[in-house]
Structure formats: C-alpha cells, structure tokens
Amino acid sequence: MKAYRFDDFKSLDDLRLHDEAEPRPQRGEVLIRVHAVSLNYRDIAMLRGRYPRAHKKGLIPTSDGAGEIISVGEGVEAFKAGDRVIGTFHPRWFAGPLHATMGQEAYGDQNDGWLVERKVVSQEAVVKVSGALSYEEAATLPCAGLTAWTALSGPMPIRAGHSVLVQGTGGVSIFALQLARAVGARVIATTSSGAKAQRLLAMGASDVVNYRETAEWGKQVRALSGGRGVDRVVEVGGPGTINQSLRAVAAGGEIASIGFLSDENPGIDFFALKLSSASFRNITVGDRAGLQELVRVVDGAGVKPIVDRVFPFAQAREAFAYLETGAHFGKVVIRVD
C-alpha cells in the first residue's frame, strides 16, 4: 500500500511516497479504500511554519478524505462493505462542547491523515454520503463544507432575509456562499480578481467588492447593505482582515472567525470591536452531528461542491503547490484511485 508522508517541513520535496503495511480493522473499526482527498490551507500552513499549533514530522498529511468501506471489524453494525463514507475532521468530537484532548487527535498534525490508499478508522469517525456526490465532491465536506455550515448555523442561524459577507474564493467562502443562498440569505463577497468576481455573481452573490481596489472595503460592504451592515461575516483572513470585518458587520450581528490566511497582524481595534455591538465566535470546523446535518442539507438543497482542480495521486506535490498559489476557485482535490 502507498502513502505520502511529510518526512520534514523544509520544502514540498519532503512530501514523499512510502510503501506501508496493509491495515486491518480491529473491533469497532472500518477499513476504507480512499478515493479522494481534499486539501485545506492548514496543509500548506504546516509546511511553511504558519500553523499555530505544534505539528509532527513523518505523518501522513491531510484531514479530509472520502472513500468506500472495504471491510469492518467485529462489533460494527452501522456500516458494511460498499458503503460510501467521508471522515470527520475531529475523529472524537461527536456532539456538544469542545473537549480538552481535541488538539491531540487531529489528522495531519498529530496523527496520520488521509493521503493514503487505504485507511482504518473508528466507526464513529466516518459519516455516510449518498451517491449524489462524486468522491471528489464528497471529500470537500469534512473541513471546508462543515466549517461554512457551522459559521452559518450555531446560536443564531442564518435564514432567509439575512445578509452574509464571504471573503475570497477559497473552499470555506464558496461553501458559505452556496449554503447561505440555499437558505435564502443575501451574500456579499470580496475578491481581488475581476474574473472571479463574475463567477461569484453568477453563483448568486448580490455584490462583489474588490479589496485591492478598495482598501476600506468594510465601509463599502456596509453601504451595500443599506448602511446597516451584514448579519454574519464568515471571517477567513484573520489578523489582516478582522478590522475591516468589524466595519462591515451589523450591530447585533456576528463575526464567525475561521482562519488565518493573512500573515499581517496590525492588531484588533478594541474600540471598533466594542462599538460594533457584534458577537465574535471562534469556529473549529464542527462535530460529527454537524457533519451529518450538512450532508442532509447538501442532499436536500442539491448543493454541488465547487472543485477547482483534481490532481492524480502521483501529482500530490503539484496539488499542494497549486493550492499555495491561491489561484483556485473552490477546492483542490487529489484523486487516490
């Protein structure tokens, strides 16, 4: 069996293919033939020293995989050979509040991830998906899809009549646009590309703001929302975008903090945060119950994940390099077959 491992974090050349022993499921486990793996910014952040948590060398990278169950261990009754499944981003966060050991269970930084031909996991660490999505599409749900859904749901769920701001055209932002439109919300988007702006409008964004041409884009978003501001900001940029997000959010609205795409860190304007009268919620992808709900929403609303490019297993390094360029619109996926 073949598996990729980051033997070091000096360059993409450290992502090397290894011959591994065939895994076997034990009691309560399932063996999965991995068909597709979706990449996320965190996979590049670890390589470039930008990831905020400690991460180990020598691990199989990536957190998101989709595949077919080959066999099951003793005591497994919820799954059978032939079932199509996706892995959960947090393998032991089933529902409820975050637990203290969650950081020790993450794929790709503390434990072996999904860039492998076959993988054994606990039966609680996978969720069934229907045949409505390809394996490549399904592999985008565990992190980007669920993160977007968690940002839009939570204590104050977005619904028809609400407004949402999404930033850029990465996986989380595109999913947030699709899911917000599916529930009837208005979406304003930011980008630096005219061509991408046209695609965002075609997907249902009511307005698109070019953040390179408009430095104070938060004020423009507020103006586009009638001077009130948006009900939800899906904040993926982090330190480099948070202050503009504070200018875009409505009083009583919410900033759902997702990621850290920007290396800039000018600091948060405390008074802007205080005077915004908005809530600030940290998003850590979501739990297994949330992933199951997302799968139902995607099926029910007919949402088709946007996959920018699919790379073959032999070109895994090229897939990582392409993700790092930031040229993608939606998700970058590796086909393992």
Express each pLDDT in 192-225 by its tens digit: 999 999 999 999 999 999 999 999 999 999 999 9
Same fold flag, 2-140+305-335 and 146-282: no
DSSP assignment letter at 169: S
Give tens-digit pLDDT for 151-208: 999 889 999 999 999 999 999 999 999 999 999 999 999 999 999 999 999 999 999 9
Please state whether beta strands 15-19 and 2-6 pair in parallel, antiparallel, or not at all (unpaired). Answer: antiparallel
From residue 250, alpha-carbon distances to 21, 232, 275 in Å are 54, 8, 11
Say yes or no: domain 2-140+305-335 is CATH 3.30.930.10: no
Task: List the domain boundaries for the chain.
Answer: 2-140+305-335, 146-282
Residue corresponding to tokens 């269970």:
105
Please report the beta strands in the chain, taking only residues with DSSP state E, as ranges in sequence order: 2-6, 15-19, 29-38, 64-72, 84-87, 118-122, 126-128, 163-167, 186-191, 207-210, 230-235, 249-257, 279-282, 307-312, 331-335
CA distance 254 to 104: 29
State the pLDDT at residue 265. 61
Q: What is the mean pLDDT of the chain?
A: 94
128: Cβ contacts below 8 Å, ≥ 6 apart: 79, 83, 84, 85, 295
Exposure string for 86-118, b = 16+ CB within 10 A, e = fewer:
bbbbbbebeeeeeeeeeeeebbbbeebbbbbbb
Q: At what angle do helices 171-182 and 288-301 cross, to 10 degrees?
A: 60
Taking the C-alpha atoms of residue 281 and residue 279, their distance in angstroms, rounded to an integer, is 6
Q: Kindly report the length of the chain.
A: 337
Q: Is 71 helix (H, G, I), strand (E, B) or coil?
A: strand
Q: How far is the C-alpha of 333 from the C-alpha of 330, rounded, in Å?
A: 10
Taking 90 as the threshold, does the pLDDT of residue 14 lie above it? yes
Q: Residue 198 has what pLDDT?
A: 98
* Residue 245: band (very low, low, confident or very high) from pLDDT cuts 50, 70, 90: very high
For the stretch 47-93, pLDDT in tens is: 888 777 778 899 999 999 999 999 999 999 999 999 999 999 999 99
Q: What are the CA-CA distances from residue 215 to residues 211, 224, 291 (Å)? A: 6, 15, 36
- The pTM for the full model equals 0.94
Domain 146-282, CATH class in plain words: alpha beta
